Amino acid sequence: MDNNMIKKVPTQELKSRLQRFRAIMDSKEPEWKLALIISKVNQYYFTGTMQEGLLLIPRNAEAVYYVRRSYERAVAESLFHEIMPMQTYRDAAADVATVVGSLPDTVHLEAEFVPLAMYERLQKYFGFKVFKSMDACMSKVRSVKSPYELDLMMKAGNIHKIVLEERVPAMLESDMTEIDLAARVFAALVEEGHDGIARFNMFDTEILLGHIAFGESSLYPTYFNGPGGNYGLSPAMQMMGSRNRRLGEGDLIFIDTGCSFEGYQSDKTMTYVFGRPLPTHAQDIHKRCVEIQNRIAQMLKPGELPSSIYNSIMKSVDEDRLPNFMGYGDRRVKFLGHAIGLQVDELPVLAKGFDEPLQEGMVFAVEPKAGVEGIGMVGIENTFVVTANGGKCLTGDSAGLLMV
């Protein structure tokens, strides 16, 4: 295996992440003894590789990454300090028992991720009686991005900017279908450096690209927890776009996609108008959404509370001047944005109930949008880093509704 082909997460980066995890667990879960990490995204966060494996983090001993497949690849691409092969969880359980003395009765797991069958297998081999969730601690560790992570997110954001602000207008043609455009957008993103996947934490969520919709299609309901929508390919595949909805003069084009670079995501929504301008009232609603995005960005400073940002904005929204804000009809979401990183939908969220202060280095996708009857979903979304001077945009500066 040619190791020169592999981009490795630096050793110090991995050490820092593990140290912060231990510190937060000590603070939030003072009785913790052993954390078991199963999800590939969290494995990658701590080890720089994602395999079929199990990362064990004992409180009073070195963490060990046990890998079933592919151990060879894990060793080749990870700078993690301790990687061991295993055939089953039995191997890991026997080995860790010799390190920590005896396996604890209580372990911490990713409760939002581990399915019941896997939990039963873990319990069989590790013999614990009780599990506790460590999801909140994991979210807190991952919420503040290091300079290394921010650099990757800036690169993802720049790909987003180039494709959605510069390349998409040249792709739009009369009578093309939504899925025609989706294929072109996806190809352009990959050409510019996109990893080819938008990773979500939301349970049982399948997204390759996002919402690609013409006109009223962007108002069609989906299971996805976001303001917009689309018809999709079929009832079996709600995302992407339709093979039947074709682009016509006067149509609004709505593109809401994720983009990832070396695992790190950005999120962006752009709108375009084909052939002739939208009616004045739709343009006015769009402009108000852009103004709200800019107000939120100004508030993305260390010490601000996500819940306070949400409440401040929502109190200022006039339903008469900005109808269907954050959705359409009774299908409205109760947030204005969300943290983003290795997954698109991370915590915290700009919503009620998120009362811990923002920290410098957090990153948010801010997405004020509104459905306009007979027109579609207008508004905007960009990805911002929290700084002392307010949110710094990573994904471009276009206000959208580009005329084509």
Q: What is the pLDDT of residues 31-89, one digit of tens each?
A: 999 999 999 999 999 999 999 999 999 999 999 999 999 999 999 999 999 999 999 99
Cα dihedral 41/270/150/206 (nearest 10):
0
Dihedrals phi, psi of 252, to nearest 5 degrees:
-80, 135
CB atoms within 10 A of CB 139: 17
| pLDDT at position 3 over 80 | no
Domain boundaries, the chain: 3-141, 144-403
What burial class does residue 35 get, using C-beta atoms within 10 Å of its C-beta: 0-12 exposed, 13-18 middle, 19+ buried?
buried
Band (pLDDT 50/70/90 cuts) for residue 238 is confident
Rounded to whole angstroms, the Cα distance separating 283 from 372 reads 10
| pLDDT at position 142 over 90 | yes
169-175 contacts, C-beta under 8 A, 24 or more apart: 169/272, 169/402, 169/404, 172/247, 172/253, 172/272, 172/274, 172/404, 173/247, 174/247, 174/248, 174/249, 174/274, 174/275, 175/246, 175/247, 175/248
Q: Which CATH architecture best describes the domain 3-141?
A: 3-Layer(aba) Sandwich (3.40)
pLDDT for the residue numbered 232: 87
Are 286 and 313 a contacting pair, CB within 8 Å? no
pLDDT for the residue numbered 239: 76
The pLDDT of 355-377, averaged and rounded, is 97
Query: Any bridge partners for residue 328, and if so which?
Result: 331
CB atoms within 10 A of CB 304: 17
Q: How wide is the angle at C-alpha 55 spanned by C-alphas 264 and 100, nearest 5°? A: 150
Are 335 and 349 a contacting pair, CB within 8 Å? yes
First CA to last CA across the chain, in angstroms? 48
Rounded to whole angstroms, the Cα distance separating 16 from 4 reads 24
Helix crossing, 135-143 with 11-28: angle to 10°?
A: 130
pLDDT for the residue numbered 222: 87
Mean pLDDT for the chain? Answer: 95
pLDDT for the residue numbered 307: 98
Look up the CATH superfamily of 144-403. Creatinase/methionine aminopeptidase superfamily (3.90.230.10)
Rounded to whole angstroms, the Cα distance separating 273 from 275 reads 7
Rounded to whole angstroms, the Cα distance separating 367 from 211 reads 14
Q: How far is CA 302 from CA 52, 150, 168, 383, 387, in A?
A: 37, 16, 35, 16, 7
For the record, the structure tokens of 167 come out as: 């390349």
| Of the listed ranges 98-112, 158-172, 176-190, the one predicted with least confidence | 98-112
> Tell me: the pLDDT tens digits for 88-119?
999 999 988 888 878 899 999 999 999 999 99
Closest alpha carbon to 25 in 146, 132, 145, 144: 132
Rounded to whole angstroms, the Cα distance separating 268 from 162 reads 12
